[in-house]
């Protein structure tokens, strides 16, 4: 395909998308008006299912099927990176060397790592009550573990990183989202319908399936990001090309 043909196809597609976008924006409520149809429906649905955080109610209840797609994209990304970055037959493995870090840096990492882990668990566990949730908390949990690499070295990170366990947890968490959806069908409702007891509003057990799906996403995001970074770090730190091995390049 020539560059001119690609430009014509892009122009046609961009024109169609722009037309639909303008039409959609034209029907939005006036800026600053108290009339927000979608917001009113979302808040009412969250209160009905006793979910204090309306954003989590939207993500894991009202449009939980869309969130399943987002989670699947992340899982597919991790799976694809694992296949592409696996050790090739012509690559050599070398043990990461110990690196020296300032005592203050090590102390800072040792103190901050457990605190960050607790914050990550809190954000995931309270996603249906306060701002945050599985996606945000999962990123915090993955970041917490890598403080060992920042404050010490790669060998310290590997000792704290059960990669095999995390790979299994990633797969199980991704599958559990679909299993919760099937539970809605079995109960006689729709896929991903909120079928668990709703509990008491503003308590950690409230929201029905929202906290369950929230926890599944938290585990999947944390495990997936750690596994994804593990493959990139392995490529950068422990794998070398045959030419580098012969010339002694590090």
Residues 140-162 have a mean pLDDT of 87
C-beta separation of 181 from 192 below 8 A:
yes
For residue 52 the two structure tokens come to 């204090």
pLDDT at 216: 95
Rounded CA separation 99/169 (Å) = 30
Between 99 and 79, whose confidence is greater? 79
For residue 176 the two structure tokens come to 């559990």
Nearest residue to 46 (alpha-carbon basis) of 35, 61, 34, 36: 61
C-beta separation of 96 from 153 below 8 A:
yes
Rounded CA separation 134/214 (Å) = 5
C-beta separation of 150 from 228 below 8 A:
no
Per-residue CA distances from 33 to 43, 110, 228 (Å) = 17, 50, 44
C-beta separation of 170 from 149 below 8 A:
no
Percent of the chain whose predicted confidence (pLDDT) is above 90 = 54
Assign 199 to helix, strand or coil: coil
Over residues 86-105, the pLDDT tens digits come to 776 666 767 777 777 788 88
C-beta separation of 161 from 226 below 8 A:
yes
Burial class (CB in 10 A: 0-12, 13-18, 19+), 186: exposed
Over residues 115-127, the pLDDT tens digits come to 999 999 999 999 9
Over residues 29-70, the pLDDT tens digits come to 777 777 788 888 999 999 999 999 999 999 999 999 999 999
208 falls in which pLDDT band (50, 70, 90)? Answer: very high
Rounded CA separation 227/220 (Å) = 10
Residues 159-179 have a mean pLDDT of 90
Neighbours of 79 (CB within 10 A): 17
Chain-centre distance for alpha carbon 9: 34
pLDDT at 240: 64
pLDDT at 128: 93
pLDDT of 250 over the 60 cut: no
Rounded CA separation 191/1 (Å) = 42
For residue 24, give the DSSP letter: H
pLDDT at 14: 96
Assign 162 to helix, strand or coil: coil
């Amino acid at each position: 395909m020539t560059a001119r043909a690609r430009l014509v196809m892009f122009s046609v597609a961009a024109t169609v998308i722009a037309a639909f976008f303008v039409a959609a924006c034209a029907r939005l409520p006036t800026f600053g008006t108290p009339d927000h149809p979608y917001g009113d429906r979302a808040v009412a649905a969250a209160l009905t299912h006793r979910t204090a955080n309306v954003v989590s109610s939207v993500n894991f209840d009202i449009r939980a099927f869309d969130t399943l797609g987002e989670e699947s994209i992340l899982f597919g990304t991790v799976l694809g990176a694992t296949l592409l970055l696996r050790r090739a037959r012509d690559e050599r493995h070398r043990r990461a060397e110990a690196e020296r870090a300032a005592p203050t840096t090590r102390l800072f990492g040792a103190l901050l790592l457990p605190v960050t882990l607790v914050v990550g668990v809190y954000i995931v566990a309270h996603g249906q009550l306060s701002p945050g949730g599985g996606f945000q908390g999962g990123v915090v949990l993955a970041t917490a573990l890598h403080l060992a690499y920042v404050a010490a070295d790669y060998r310290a990170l590997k000792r704290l990183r059960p990669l095999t366990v995390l790979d299994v947890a990633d797969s199980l968490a991704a599958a559990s989202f679909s299993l919760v959806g099937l539970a809605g069908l079995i109960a006689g409702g729709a896929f991903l319908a909120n079928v668990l007891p709703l509990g008491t509003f503003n308590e950690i057990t409230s929201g029905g399936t929202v906290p369950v799906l929230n926890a599944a996403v938290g585990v999947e995001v944390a495990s997936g990001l750690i596994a994804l970074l593990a493959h990139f770090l392995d490529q950068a730190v422990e794998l070398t090309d045959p030419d580098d091995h012969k010339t002694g390049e590090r």
